[in-house]
Amino acid sequence: MSWMYIILIITMMVGILLFFTGRRKGAGIYLFFGGMALITPVFISAGWFHALPLVPALSLLISFLMTKLP
């Protein structure tokens, strides 16, 4: 296994931790960075490098929607 994939897996685990911490606390900044840490490795491993500029917008949308949910 390549070092890049190991680092991407670690980044996804940190993203999951941040995302669920933000969901539990209702903190949008945790959701934002957790969403970025989750979406970026998925796009990189899928080869969608042209979609990487959309990651901040997608994670901002996710954090906004998740803070508005009950």
Predicted confidence at residue 67, as pLDDT, reads 80
Q: Which domain holds residue 18?
A: 3-68
- 7-28 per-residue burial string, b: 16 or more CB within 10 A, e: under 16: ebeebbeebeebbeebbeeeeb
- Contacts of residue 59, defined as CB under 8 A and 6 or more positions apart, other chains included, come to 31, 32, 33, 34, 35, 36, 39
% the chain with pLDDT above 90: 9
| Residue 1: both structure tokens together | 């296994």
Total domains present in the chain: 1
Average pLDDT over the chain reads 87
Q: Strands, DSSP E only, in 4-62?
A: none
Question: What is the DSSP-derived secondary structure letter of residue 69?
Answer: -
Neighbours of 31 (CB within 10 A): 25
Question: pLDDT tier at 62 (50, 70, 90 boundaries)?
Answer: confident
